Amino acid sequence: MVCLRLYFFSSYLCCSKNHCKTLERVIIIEGIDPLVLYGVNNTRFERIAGFYPELKLIARGNELKVVGDKETIDELEDRIGKMVEFNNRFGYLKENNIQDILEGNDDSVSQAEEDAADVLVYGNHGKVIKARTVNQRMLVDLYSQNDLLFAIGPAGSGKTYTAIALAVRALRNKEVKRILLTRPAVEAGERLGFLPGDMKDKLDPYLQPLYDALHDMIPLRKLADFMEDGTVQIAPLAYMRGRTLDNAFVILDEAQNTTLSQLKMFLTRMGKNAKFIVTGDVTQIDLPNKADSGLVRTTKLLKNINGISVVNFDTRDIIRHKLVKYIVNAFDKDAEENKL
């Protein structure tokens, strides 16, 4: 949760007729985008100002200048703090939430807590991210009991997306200090060397699905800060060699394109207080020799070790376009027939 910090600069203006003191206070608000708090075209700001007609409010960016009596300003300060706290806790702040907070009732909080029971994280713009299928829920349930999970199944079944949601939740809850996402840089029919740019430019297309998922769950500015200070790292699998990953949530995606020795290298990076999830689709191996894939063999080698579990996703978990499920079934059927 982002910490709310409010800074106050106060001065007193003397009212000569009744000798009262009117307080002028500048509140600098951090921990929330002013656009979220004030609304498009200041619609939410006008609602807040209208609730306190006895105060004069002037908003400029993250500075809110308030003139009025101390007691009412203190109440406004408390209400704004609760709005920021609500947004940071639940990932959204709607106009009805603002109204409830202004009126001092807890209806919005109670409803949000009830809705949050199955929510992994609240993404950007209030997007609710939760396990939506049987095997996605199984992955979430097994997460609390295991430090290493394998999620294997077809494209579109939410393996990686659910894993990244678990990682973001763990980071927000301070269960880990950093997130590392990695994939093997293996071409799916193209050739890496022919792509334009330097090595980063060549590798980024392989890592783009991981960026896409993070963009759903972490505000862009915050994600940029996380990536700059190393809280979130995205790198090809080869960059994992030689590292010890303590206090980290690590996800290896597209693991069907790793060899047995690469998987061994990756799994032995696990340090203290680490969580590892390995995802892959054994029907989409892009290695020159498909027999070199080490994913299936690795899960068989590790299947009887306490603290390691395997979740097998299937077409029932596919949540992309409805045709994807039929496409996967058709290719699986063809593969079975060609084995005979």
Domains of the chain, earliest start first: 5-117 (3.30.1370), 131-339 (3.40.50.300)
**Average pLDDT of the segment spanning 307-334:** 84
Confidence of residue 196 (pLDDT cuts 50, 70, 90): low
Residue 115 pLDDT more than 70? no
Rounded to the nearest 10 degrees, what angle do helices 199-217 and 159-172 cross at?
Answer: 70
The pLDDT of residue 200: 57
DSSP, collapsed to helix, strand or coil, labels residue 6 as strand
Greatest mean pLDDT among 6-15, 101-110, 242-251 lies in: 242-251
8 A C-beta contact, residue 123 and residue 129: yes
Rg (CA), the chain: 25
Residue 189 pLDDT more than 60? no
What are the tens digits of pLDDT across the range 281-309? 998 998 889 899 999 999 999 988 999 99
Q: Which residues contact 163 (CB under 8 A, 6 or more apart)?
A: 139, 149, 151, 251, 253, 277, 279
The pLDDT of residue 205: 73
Vertex 56, ends 34 and 41: CA angle to 5°?
35
Alpha-carbon gap, residue 44 to 41, rounded angstroms: 8
Average pLDDT, the chain: 84
195 φ, ψ (degrees, to nearest 5): -70, 145
pTM of the predicted model as reported, rounded to 2 decimal places? 0.65
The pLDDT of residue 187: 53
Long-range pairs for 266-272 at CB < 8 Å and ≥24 separation? 266/182, 266/237, 266/240, 267/148, 267/298, 269/240, 269/243, 269/244, 269/245, 270/147, 270/148, 270/245, 271/244, 271/245, 271/246, 271/247, 272/246, 272/247
Residue 4 pLDDT more than 60? no
DSSP, collapsed to helix, strand or coil, labels residue 259 as strand
Q: Which residues contact 246 (CB under 8 A, 6 or more apart)?
A: 271, 272, 273, 274
Q: 25-29, 84-88, 183-187 — which is least confidently predicted?
A: 183-187
**Average pLDDT of the segment spanning 63-77:** 92
Q: 73-77, 80-84, 185-189, 272-276 — which is least confidently predicted?
A: 185-189
Confidence of residue 5 (pLDDT cuts 50, 70, 90): very low
Six-digit token pair at 309? Answer: 């579990």
